[in-house]
Amino acid sequence: MEKENKCIVVLSGGLDSTTVAYWAKNQGYSLYLLTFKYGQIATKEVKYALKIANKLKAPIRLIDLSSLKKIFTGVSSLCDADIPMTSKFSQPIIVPFRNAILLSIAVAYAVSINAARIFYGAQGSDEPFYPDCRREFYKSFEATARLGTDLVITIEAPFSNMPKSEIIKLGSSFGVPFDLTWSCYLNGPKHCGKCESCVNRKNAFAEAGILDPTEYNE
């Protein structure tokens, strides 16, 4: 297998990164998926990532960073149930520097399997709120990765300028099984329908004019 053909996709199990995986497959890449436990409440997303990997018949590695929970406790509502979950963006939704942690491990994995490309699911609707979803961040990270490995590794978020509704339209064209993706920050039997991520998901399906297959609590 050619080095150029391999790519790593950081797959959360949400719809953005899942669409990235389908997009990459459609571009002709051989997929190597990485998913993470990092202390998030919604460990269910990891199960959805595994379902997507199975659907894509792509190898996936689950990296367990649950030890980080102690760092994110008291900091992020995604990792600490005692911090109120909000329906609109609020500072505690941010898991500080999370994407850098995940990308740094993706770079190590890229070196280990001789892959030259890493894709992740940062998207345009999040870009104003989440610094580690911005192009200037991940391009700086890419430069750092090249300095830190002496290898040319490319890091891209192909949808970083695209609103979530457009990602849904694109995903729909690839046949992404959105019912096998999990966006909710909580870990209930169904999507809560109330957290920022559920609200964004609902609104994006409505904006896209595509039927939302998600079962919400409300």
User: What is the DSSP track for 108-134?
Assistant: HHHHHHT--EEE----TTTTTT-GGGS
**By CB under 8 A, is residue 144 in contact with a second copy?**
yes
Q: Decide: is 83 part of the binding site for a second copy (CB under 8 A).
A: no
Does position 210 interact with a second copy (CB under 8 A)? The reply is no
Q: Does 140 bind a second copy (CB under 8 A)?
A: yes
Per CB under 8 A, 98 contacts a second copy: yes
55 binds a second copy (CB under 8 A): no
Contact flag: residue 205 with a second copy (CB under 8 A): no
Q: Which is nearer to a second copy, 72 or 159 (CB)?
A: 72
Q: Residues of 124-139 as b/e, b for ≥16 C-beta within 10 angstroms?
A: bbbbeebebbbeebbe
Nearest one of 95, 106, 77 to 38, comparing CA atoms: 95
Beta strand 154-156 pairing with 117-119: parallel
Q: Interface with a second copy by CB under 8 A: which residues?
A: 61-68, 70-72, 74-75, 95-101, 103-105, 107-109, 111-112, 131-132, 134, 136-137, 140-141, 143-145, 147-150
